[in-house]
Chain A
Amino acid sequence: MSTGLIFDIKEFAVYDGPGIRQTIFLKGCPLRCSWCHNPEGQKMCPELMVSKASCISCGRCKEVCDNEKCITCGKCIHQCPLNLRKICGQHISAEELAGYIKEKGGYYAAYGGGVTFSGGEPLMQPEFLLETLYLLAGIHKAIETSGYANNETFRSVISMTDYVMMDIKLVDSHLHMKYTGVDNAIILENLASLCSGNKKFSVRIPVIPGVNDNESNFCDVAELIKNAPMLERVELLPYHKTAGAKYEMVNRNYDPMFDVNRPVFISQKIFSQYGIRSVVL
């Protein structure tokens, strides 16, 4: 029985696949996208997360701490009168997680939904993910992925799911490396297998000002997916300034490599010219 690391379970996700869904966020991601809005999902270990906005600086958390650097012991959590501190990242067995999902599964199934695995990058914990998926027979399963995993892992996970939402950030490999920290060859390879496969999927494009919000990138994406029979639609997620909101909570600076104030260019027309349905979320 394998154990995984998750950092959130969200109820009533309305933008994470068909119907009403519960979304499980797996912790850890190989990418470091400059616009990442879930910084707490990046590291593959538990982290202390502090919401500083409403902190009244009472100092109780400091009184119980003897460590120079946080060791995520959790002592300070219960000291906060406003419940502003938490350990982000919880180890959980596939069995336990599947049990939780199944307990509520009937509700979501009744409303055309199911469960979505997101992250972080869920494919970073393939054994745990596969085992969990295996235990969820009869439940509609979706995955939200960057597609950054070896093709074998990718295919085996996809084969266990009912719906795939895959990010394509940039087609240009040089720019992809620059803005996400990784090469996109493996991503494009996985996209190709998705396009030729028999699994329903959608392609998600986080539309980032000055990074990928141009006709040529949209066209490149459209070219890659135009003949995919199982493609449902392209989902465009315009960048929003609030993407940096959680960095402070995990004690990091948000330092994007682009101008956050620049308006985002969105073109659904390009996709419709390719006969591809698109939606702005």
Chain B
Amino acid sequence: MIERISSLRNFFIDEKKHRVYRQKPLDPMLLASKFKRNNIPDIDRAVIRLKYMLDNEIAVVLKNEKIALMRTIPNPPEIFTEDEINTIKATHHIHERGEVCNINVDYSLLLDKGFNEKRREITESIKKFEKYGDVSSVHYLEQLLSILDSVEALSGRYKLEAEKVGNKVVAESFSHIPANPPATFLQALQMLRLLHFTMWCGNNYHNTLGRFDQYMFKYLKSDLDRGLLDYDGALELVEEFFLSLNRDSDLYPGMQQGDNGQSLVLGGLNEDGTDSYNMLSEICLKASLELKLIDPKINLRVSKNTPIERYILGTQLTKQGLGFPQYSNDDVVIDGLINLGYDKSDAYNYVVAACWEFIIPGRGMDIPNIDALSFVKAVEDAAFDKLESCKNFDEFFCFVKENINNQVNKICNDTKNVYIFPAPFISLMMEGCVENAKDISYGNRYNNFGIHGTGISTAVDSLAAIKKYVFETNEISSKTLIAALKNNFTGYEEIRNKLRYSAPKFGNDDEYADSIAVLLLNSFAESLENKKNDRGGIYRPGTGSAMYYIWHSKDMPATPDGRDKGEEFPANYSPSMFARLNGPVSIIRSFTKPDLKKVINGGPLTLELHNTVFRTPEAVSKVALLVKSFMDLGGHQLQLNSVNRDILLDAQKNPEKHRNLIVRVWGWSGYFTELSEEYQDHIIKRTELSL
């Protein structure tokens, strides 16, 4: 990292000095009450709010930066009062905060055109709608123009400020963009920063960055061809851009700090089978490696022909303990998306949403996290209601399947009539919105709903235990099992331990449990087949859990896998946290047995490896092979952790949750939770040093 970047990193990340420029927080209801009083239509509210933000932003330019823009207004005000929201909720389903979120816009629709050209397009569209006398469409398009005005006015203020502080580079960029398309890679990065900044100002969130290495590459290439930039110069600029994503991120809404959806996708197969990974993809990996920042969150698209060197570069990133790159397997994901009805070219262009859901840039208004199925509830309800009357496992499983269907039907019913707040600026970067004068909130080419599935492993393990002990060995009668569960195993301790530690587990490369996982995921997929939502889309089953796993586990009684009442399920597509498994190879072999193309909404297998497994370059290349093996065996998505101090500390406090946490001690590996405290402390200390 060159000196200029490290001093900027220090300024923004370590010392957070830019925060002194922040204005006082706005009254969240500053605009909403006026809107209500004057009965302002929703689209106008969104426009006025965004313009308010842009018009009141103060330009701040640092002397040594090349890519400017920082938020000074902490919070975009709301556009509805609480009363209004409640009224809407009475007749509509509101997803999360109601705003457009978690999609990936096609930045090139503004970036490659420049605002002048975009204005021309909008004006054409206005003429067309004027001809039909379509007043409301004309009004919508005029609103879009006025947003462009405010973005340009802000850019103008940045240009003046840059001149004032003597920053010629930034002044030069803003004298060109956004009116014109960028003339250089640097200007393209500045303009992308401006577009992304504006999205956040509009209160849209989980604003993903998509295939940055694809839509930005032509700007880099042009500079390289003209000799304006070399590899190191490009790396410097990408680092500065990545840094800019961490400036205001504390202001972005999310479940917790860092959950801001700034995901970025690198590489991937082209439709003709060639590889899209380019020099910029590599630069991004290197920039992330040097910066060691949580944003952007890197996703790496791989396939069977991905060279091992790329996995190695990815593994070096994993070694830093930030939890990315997250890998997705084109060989599985693309087919899965095509099977769901996505056009081939769109499927090949997939990106990930904020976390891991697969979505389509510029054309997808999918809500890939609209709700979640609880696999565990499906099993538990069947156990409580039907187990005692079942003669065999197949009969019992039919009831589980019925419960899955019932839950899914309820979810489909509950997610009707979704109301999404208008997002006019985002609409400028989504297919057809300008041509049709139709805001993105009304939908786009794809309007599918994704449904997560929580507690897969808990459900599989529970079913495996029932199959084995109740129906095969008859060691535990159905009556005893139900009584044990209802009493949270009090008085049934030995049964609990048997279920918990001796029963077959998903993740041990054991056909007994793994075949049940296949059944369960297939049942989920079948339950959603041919179902349509009321926005013209379908439902997509997935292996993710998001926060639902906590909500679903909180009140869940003890389960037949020996899980205690209220104990958390593992997150996403991961094995039980208390079963001691054979190791990562068995986990990978088990978790690639289900047909993951059928449950392709997204949701990764998470593997935690201790950072000592990454110690030598040779070992790093072996971890890379482990990742590759998951893909080779048909895995869809993988997230790897080099385990850090926080996890170790948590493991010390809550050993039950970290049974599979492996640490390399000295020439041997052991289970962290089995070490005595003294040694645990020692390893924690060592982790501290290795960071």
A53 to B496, CA, bound (A): 22
A9 to B508, CA, bound (A): 13
- Interface digits, B577-615 against A, CB 8 Å rule (1 contact, 0 not)? 010101111100100000000000000000000000101
* B667 in complex: contacting residue of A15, A54, A60, CB < 8 Å: A15
Q: Is the CB of A11 within 8 A of B585?
A: yes
> Is B106 at the interface (CB under 8 A from chain A)?
no
B629 and A110 contacting across the interface, CB-CB below 8 Å: yes
Binds B, one of A80-88, A122-130, A134-142, A176-184: A80-88
- Least distance between B121 CB and chain A CB atoms (Å): 52
Q: Which B residues are in CB contact (< 8 Å) with A9?
A: 582
A280 to chain B: closest residue by CB: B616
CB-based contact A246/B670 at 8 Å: yes
Please tell me which stretch of A65-73, A210-218, A236-244 contacts chain B, meaning at least 4 of its Cβ atoms lie within 8 angstroms of it: A236-244
Query: Which residues of chain A are within 8 angstroms of B583 by Cβ–Cβ distance?
Result: 10-12
Do B675 and A245 touch across chains, with their CB atoms under 8 A apart? Answer: yes
A118 (CB) vs chain B CBs: closest residue:
B668
Report Cα–Cα, A206/B628, bound state, in Å.
Answer: 32
Q: How far, in angstroms, from A15 to B615 measured CA to CA in the complex?
A: 10
B669 touches A243 (CB 8 A): no
Minimum distance in angstroms from B492 CB to a CB of chain A: 12
Interface residues of A in 248-281 (CB under 8 A from B): 248-249, 279-281
Complex Cα distance, B667 from A14, in Å, reads 10
Question: For the side of the interface on A, what is the size category?
Answer: 35 or more
Contacts of B509 in A (CB 8 A): 104
Chain B interface (Cβ within 8 Å of chain A)? 493-494, 496-498, 500-502, 509, 578, 580, 582-586, 589, 613, 615-616, 618-619, 622-623, 625-626, 628-629, 632, 655-656, 659, 664-671, 673-677, 679-680, 682-683
User: Interface centre among B625, B632, B656, by most A CB within 10 Å?
Assistant: B625
The number of A-B residue pairs with CB atoms under 8 Å apart is 121
Q: Please list 18 pairs of residues, one from A and one from B, whose beta carbons are closer than 8 Å in the complex, sorted by A's number.
A: A10-B583, A11-B582, A12-B585, A14-B618, A14-B619, A14-B623, A19-B625, A37-B665, A37-B666, A51-B673, A53-B674, A54-B674, A111-B625, A111-B628, A239-B666, A245-B679, A280-B616, A281-B667
CA distance A171 to B500 in the complex (A): 49
When C-beta atoms are compared, the residue in chain A nearest to B625 turns out to be A111
In the bound assembly, the distance between CA atoms of A140 and B659 in angstroms comes to 31
Residues of the A chain whose Cβ atoms lie less than 8 Å from the Cβ of B502: 78
Which B residues lie within 8 Å of A52 (CB)?
Answer: 676
Assess whether A241 is in contact with B497, with CB atoms less than 8 Å apart: no
Task: Take A11-B583, A111-B625 as given contacts and tell me if A84 and B667 are in contact as well, using a CB distance cutoff of 8 Å.
Answer: no
Contacts of A34 in B (CB 8 A): none
Is A229's beta carbon under 8 Å from chain B?
no
CB-CB under 8 A for A242 and B616, given A12-B585, A51-B674: no
Contacting pair B616 A279 (CB below 8 A): yes
Q: Does A245 lie within 8 Å of B613, measured CB to CB?
A: no
Cβ-based interface call for A22 (8 A):
yes
CB distance from A5 to the nearest CB of B (A): 18
Complex CA–CA separation, A233 to B517 (angstroms):
45
A10 and B619 CA atoms in complex are apart in Å by: 16
The answer to whether B665 touches A245, judged by C-beta atoms less than 8 angstroms apart, is yes
Complex interface: chain A residues within 8 A of B500 (CB): 83
Give every chain B residue within 8 A of A51 (Cβ-Cβ). 671, 673-675
By beta carbon, the residue of chain A nearest B498 is A78
CB of A20 within 8 A of chain B?
yes
- Closest 3 CB pairs between A and B? A11-B583, A240-B666, A51-B674
Contact of A81 among B497, B582, B589, B670 (CB under 8 A): B497
Would B670 and A245 count as touching, CB distance under 8 A?
yes
Q: With a CB–CB cut-off of 8 A, which chain B residues contact A279?
A: 616, 618
B665 and A240 form a contact (CB under 8 A): yes
Contact present for B679 and A11 (CB under 8 Å) = no
